[in-house]
Structure 1
């Protein structure tokens, strides 16, 4: 983001640390620890912060100078490719090359080793947050070509949220996988466009409002508080009437679920701004800002590490203290690997520049 909003950066940075501990819990902790303990409940609640990351993504997109449709489409294609490369590193390498993936993980899909080509293809095409981001950027490129006004984009966000339950599971006959990227009700795609792009669109609208109000941060977070409170009330009322239909499946939410999550996370952003954003500059703040700056790379690294480490620690095998230790270990390894990556990148660039000068 070229026009920095510290609170947004802090929230996005915090989401990196939260996703590491949530994913570690999901893949390593015993089912009892995940589902029948206060610890597991708290971690799962923290995992509901996905909407905060997506709202931050939308705000960042609105403030970015790279608004040309072809640049948005290019970045979207890059994220889609990166998502599938990550899937290959997560699944194909430990299954087909290293032969380290626990059989219990394979059994969780209802399969047995060795996997056939269709089963491997299913894993490689897993739709995660990177696929959602990639498709969303391509769609934003289309919106920019059409020069949509802010209130139209807000209307689109509401329309997608409200229509999600009615299009859930829809299929295009010739493009079933593309259908799943938009409307999935299965676990090949965890974050379908409907309804999750509503959170990104909400962030985009907020970013435009911030620009239209001469970059008045106080006004922006006041809107976050009021809009968040309204959505929280509407979402909570909706969930009270139909919790199972709206929030029963976290990854495939419907209108009530996504309204509640966006509202909750907008309120959290406003609270973060009020409590911390301009009052701290210590090591924790620096760590969060670093994580925010490198969120995509850190996301890929932590998932690959977690899937590789299942060959050492197993799948759904760890009790409380081993899980806590592993959360710390995965966090440290993720940032260490990223530091090594940056160092090797700088070294490579330096060698190339030196070679050019001497050529």
Structure 2
């Protein structure tokens, strides 16, 4: 019987590129001064690349449907793990510099806080990042994968999440722990600031699941699924563009908290981009750079955490938003080197521990 490859090279390459891209983007956002970020061609382009979150999320949805781990339990466990990984990352990013007294003054002053210090620290640890979004979304999409078998109903759920996102924004109850969960879901601005609330951002993941389900039904025919993405991408752009550019206050609002039209519009361009990358990489041969990108894709979560922690710690050494683009370019190379180095060390340690745990007990 013919074996079908469930892995799509284009998705691995995109996820790999996103690892390298986020190191570049985050280094610029943390270290480049405002002029370098918005008044230079390189800086403006890098800040623009930071708007590529939807690409990663749609890829996540596709691979979620074709993953070897299909059980609801595994999705729920991974979801909780990612939420706590996000909180741990925030603690390492913000609290370690505070505890060891190497946090730059102008970073704290940026927020113009007047609240007690412990409230400021709670705010930082609870910031809603992409890990919290992925984790909270898994608690929902695990049920969709298990119980919804019709791909068009999956798509309808995704569009419904986008449709109601502005209406549910701000829902909260006066209980701190419950409010934090509601914050992650609906961006209530109490007590944390959530960059990627589940509503609307989960819609991109569910749209990816729609194409993942279709990919299964097409017997894992890569050429056909990317043709479908092209057609849907064009349709989404035509539907989303007038909503964003004519009724933007409701449908776009802001990048991090967009409405339904913004989701459809960004999803359209994302699907076009995925089709383009697949077209470019269809006949590409394996080489060193491809292997690096595959390595990054495989270790995306850990490398995401490593680079953010290192870049945040570096504020105490290199300052916060003080440098020109030339200086920041050197820092980008430094953080690329450090992130890969630490990931290699982690791999070696895990391999040694695994060998040790699996080794037969020596006879005495």
Change (3 A) 1:357 1:198: farther
Deviation at 1:148, TM superposition (A): 4.8
In structure 2, relative to structure 1, the CA distance for the partners of 1:44 and 1:272 (3 Å cut) is same
How far 1:355 sits from its partner (Å)? 6.9
Using the alignment, how far apart are the partners of 2:111 and 2:285 within structure 1?
Answer: 45
Secondary structure, in 3 states, of the residue corresponding to 1:251? coil
1:33-75 CA deviation, whole Å, 9 max, x = no partner? 1122222221122112111100110011100121211111011
Which residue does 2:239 correspond to in 1? Answer: 234
The one of 308, 326, 330 equivalent to 1:303 is 308
CA contact (8 A) 1:106 1:112 kept: no
Q: CA contact under 8 A between 2:10 and 2:274: conserved in structure 1?
A: yes
TM-score normalised per structure 1: 0.94
What is the 5 A alignment of 1:94-243?
A: 94-96=97-99, 98-111=100-113, 116-174=117-175, 175-184=178-187, 186=189, 188-243=193-248
Q: Deviations over 1:209-257 (max 9, x none)?
A: 0000111111100011111111122222222113454434221111122
Equivalent pairs, count = 356
| Aligned residues of 1:101 and 1:310 also touching (Cα < 8 A) | yes
2:327 aligned to 322, 331, 336, which one? 322
What residue is the counterpart of 2:272 in the other structure?
Answer: 267
Q: Determine if contact 1:58/1:201 at 8 Å carries over to the other structure.
A: yes
Report if aligned partners of 1:79, 1:134 keep a CA contact under 8 Å in 2.
Answer: yes
User: What TM-score does the superposition give when structure 2 sets the normalisation length?
Assistant: 0.92
Unmatched runs of 5 consecutive residues or more in structure 1: none
How far the C-alpha of 1:301 sits from its partner, in A, is 0.3
How far did 1:145 drift? Answer: 4.9
1:278 aligns with 2:283: yes
Q: Which moved more, 1:339-348 or 1:206-215?
A: 339-348
Query: CA-to-partner distance for each residue in 1:77-130, whole Å, 9 max, x for gaps?
Result: 11111111111111111112x2111111111222379x6222211111111111
Kindly state the Cα deviation for residue 21 of structure 1 after the two structures are TM-superposed. 1.0
Kindly indicate which of the two structures has a greater share of residues assigned to helix.
1
**Match for residue 249 of structure 1 among 254, 264, 289:** 254
1:283 & 1:51 partners in 2: Cα distance? 27
- Are residue 28 (structure 1) and residue 46 (structure 2) matched? no
Q: Specify whether residues 185 and 42 from structure 1 end up closer, same or farther in structure 2 by C-alpha distance, changes over 3 A only.
A: farther
Task: State how far apart, in whole Å, the 2-side matches of 1:209 and 1:339 are.
Answer: 36
Going from structure 1 to structure 2, the CA distance change for 1:117 and 1:235 (only over 3 Å counts) comes to: same
Deviates more, 1:181-190 or 1:27-36: 181-190
Q: Secondary structure at the match of 1:48?
A: coil
Q: Give the superposed CA RMSD.
A: 1.9
Any gaps of 5 or more consecutive residues in structure 2? none
The alpha-carbon deviation at position 170 of structure 1 amounts to 2.0
Distance in 1 between residues matched to 2:167 and 2:119, nearest whole Å? 29
Give secondary structure in 2 for the equivalent of 1:214.
coil
